Structure 1
Amino acid sequence: MSRRPFAALALLSALAVGACSSAAGSAAGPTATPSASTGWSYTSGDGKTYTADEVPTRIIAHAYAAKALMSYGIRPIAVYADGPIDGDVGLQGVDFDGVEVLSEEWGHIDVEKAATLDPDLIVGDWWPAEKAYSGLEGGVEEASKKMATLATVVGPSQGDSIVELVEGYAELAESLGADASVVEEQRVAFDAAVSDLERATAAKPDLDVLAISPWEDTYAVAVPTYAPELLDLQRWGLRVIDPQKPDADFPYWESLSFENADTYQPDALLFDDRNYPGNRDTLARQPIASSIKAFAAGATTTWPAYWLHTYPDYTAQLQRLTEFVEQADETVGD
């Protein structure tokens, strides 16, 4: 199963390193050392340092990683995605024209085609809970995992903050030759958005929200510990509810039956935006929907679930959430 549960859970019903040398490194966050004269070095999210005699240029990347690299002018030769690119909220506005698409289905990558491209680097997020990079984790088909034999696989780690992930991709891009001076301008706008959200949440100290993704016969409640964007929101003052009983086998979520969907009564619901508005419609069809006070009151919005990789995207999402918080009623769930 994918660690991005709700491109993954929507698919459930249908459902190593390579060429360069490596040495153990610090597990503290990714660092990069660009140098045209001495080759290439990058300490990846798995804590290992990868090196090459030359800076990699033939890059295959997970689509979200590709979006991040492209924001700094690093264009991959191919991408693999977890679902149809045109319908992915996290890939809106990205121009993949001329870039080979190796997959638009989680768990399946056309490794034979990838091999013909002669890549010298593969890029994706490192997922500590599963000890694997994007597209190579448990549950994908074995043939797809062979992509890791084509080239070194690197990328910053998913951790307890999306900010660290964003910064990790900026560092990786710089190691690959990008001029990342634009990052400072992006960071200024982002910092301003964070400050605005903090002011809004400080003015609504009793506002409780619940991050959810209803699907099929399950009312799934997100566990912030495994959703760094939700941890960021908590850090900036938004009271995102921590569910009491995360699933033992996949603790990203607490899976409730719809009969128990009113277990939590927040002041607002945040729907996983990757399946929105379909997941909202799924909940609306359930008889219990009227017993969930926030849903009955129309106190709903979305949260950017597992796809944020750039400052501009994060800034836009924080600005939208700030407007929602400013208008929210802290008494809905009482």
Structure 2
Amino acid sequence: MHERAASSSRHIPRLNGSALISFGIKPVGIYTDEPVKTDPNLKDLDLTGITVLGEEWGKIDVEKAASLAPDLIVGDWWPAEKAYSGLEEGVDEKSKKLKELAPIVGISQGESIVDLAEGYENLAKSLGAKVDDPKVAANKQRFEAAVTAFKTATAAKPGLTAAAMAPSDENLSIANPKYAPELLDFQRWGLKVINPERPDPSFPYWETISWENADKYQPDLILWDSRVFTPTVNAEYGKKQPTWFKVKAAKAGAAVSWPGYWLHTYGDFAVELEKLTTAISAADENVGN
């Protein structure tokens, strides 16, 4: 891992650290929504010499960030909230002072992960990174092959429906593809991801429903939010919430991890697409009937 690209800028990214580090840009600090050791964006990355400024959503050590004297802060732009990562509604007011330290830039969580990945590649290039590294090209090739395989799998099962879900002990949330670029990509490539009927007005990324109404949607395949997914999570929620198995796909065990809101690179997207393609190929398009 290179220490820093040719640019002399000092950067503090959040969530999208992998997007910059993969191009050889080593930030002086990062802040995340969860412990660094479990953040999928940072898996297998060399974080030596990088200061961790926060490992919980909405909490950033701004004093420590100021001591790093950053020239630039990098964070995703979230359209529904009209804010950059770390400056959304609900974060600690002290954390919002981060915007006083340096200009903030970032790519929008818009209509496609492809656009997001390309955006960060262009940003890295503008900061002096060499984006023609063979590893970058190899990741793109793997991604393109994964998209082709995904399209083939969905074309073979034109009736297959899927719903992206995130459970909690209190309720069940159904993701709204309008604000999830990876879900829009899945739809674009042939997977019929369900659009929830009534997204929450205050936070339209989701439609929140009670466990009593867990069977409101009956997909053939459940896309579990990867932030809570484990191989046994489907069975665990069936024990905690008996209505979970009213969802026919849940009862059939037709569930797979969904990379919710964290993808930033071609390499990561390729890996996740390959997993999803395997699940789609094994799924029964009549489960939800």
What TM bracket, shorter-length normalisation?
Answer: over 0.9
**Cα 1:162–1:284, aligned 2, differ >3 Å: closer, same or farther?**
farther
Q: Report the Cα distance in structure 1 between the residues aligned to 2:103 and 2:223, rounded to whole angstroms.
A: 37
Asked if the contact 1:209/1:267 (under 8 Å) is kept, the reply is yes
Q: Report the Cα distance in structure 1 between the residues aligned to 2:195 and 2:233, rounded to whole angstroms.
A: 20
Q: Larger deviation: 273-282 or 82-91? A: 273-282
5+ residue gaps, structure 1, are 1-35, 37-54
1:160 Cα deviation from its structure 2 partner: 0.8
1:293 Cα deviation from its structure 2 partner: 0.7
5+ residue gaps, structure 2, are 1-5
Q: Partner residue of 1:60?
A: 12
1:108 Cα deviation from its structure 2 partner: 0.9
Letter in structure 2 aligned against 1:247: D
1:279 Cα deviation from its structure 2 partner: 5.8
The one of 101, 108, 112 equivalent to 1:161 is 112
Asked if the contact 1:56/1:120 (under 8 Å) is kept, the reply is no
The one of 255, 276, 283 equivalent to 1:321 is 276
1:283 Cα deviation from its structure 2 partner: 4.8
Q: Report the Cα distance in structure 1 between the residues aligned to 2:167 and 2:19, rounded to whole angstroms.
A: 29
Asked if the contact 1:56/1:121 (under 8 Å) is kept, the reply is no
Letter in structure 1 aligned against 2:149: D
Q: TM-score, normalised by structure 1?
A: 0.81
The one of 248, 255, 261 equivalent to 1:306 is 261
Q: Superposition RMSD on alpha carbons, in Å?
A: 1.4
Asked if the contact 1:213/1:279 (under 8 Å) is kept, the reply is no
Residues 44-77 of structure 1, C-alpha deviations (whole Å, 9 max, x = no match): xxxxxxxxxxx45211111x32111000000001
Please state whether the residue corresponding to 2:80 is helix, strand or coil. Answer: coil
Q: Report the Cα distance in structure 1 between the residues aligned to 2:167 and 2:245, rounded to whole angstroms.
A: 15
The structure whose residues are more often strand, as a share, is 1
Identity %: 53
The one of 236, 241, 250 equivalent to 1:286 is 241
Q: Report the Cα distance in structure 2 between the residues aligned to 1:330 and 1:181, rounded to whole angstroms.
A: 41
Q: Report the Cα distance in structure 2 between the residues aligned to 1:136 and 1:279, rounded to whole angstroms.
A: 32
1:90 Cα deviation from its structure 2 partner: 3.3
**Cα 1:283–1:244, aligned 2, differ >3 Å: closer, same or farther?**
farther
Q: Does 1:178 align with 2:129?
A: yes
Q: Report the Cα distance in structure 1 between the residues aligned to 2:270 and 2:83, rounded to whole angstroms.
A: 28
Q: Partner residue of 2:96?
A: 145
Letter in structure 1 aligned against 2:257: T
The one of 139, 151, 157 equivalent to 1:198 is 151
The one of 206, 216, 220 equivalent to 1:267 is 220
Q: Partner residue of 1:258?
A: 211
Q: Report the Cα distance in structure 1 between the residues aligned to 2:242 and 2:204, rounded to whole angstroms.
A: 27
Aligned counterparts, 1:223-262, within 5 A: 223-262=176-215
1:255 Cα deviation from its structure 2 partner: 0.5
Residues 279-321 of structure 1, C-alpha deviations (whole Å, 9 max, x = no match): 6433542111222111111111110000000110000111111
Q: Report the Cα distance in structure 1 between the residues aligned to 2:55 and 2:70, rounded to whole angstroms.
A: 19
Asked if the contact 2:238/2:245 (under 8 Å) is kept, the reply is no
Q: Report the Cα distance in structure 1 between the residues aligned to 2:127 and 2:167, rounded to whole angstroms.
A: 40
The one of 98, 103, 106 equivalent to 2:54 is 103
Asked if the contact 2:16/2:41 (under 8 Å) is kept, the reply is no
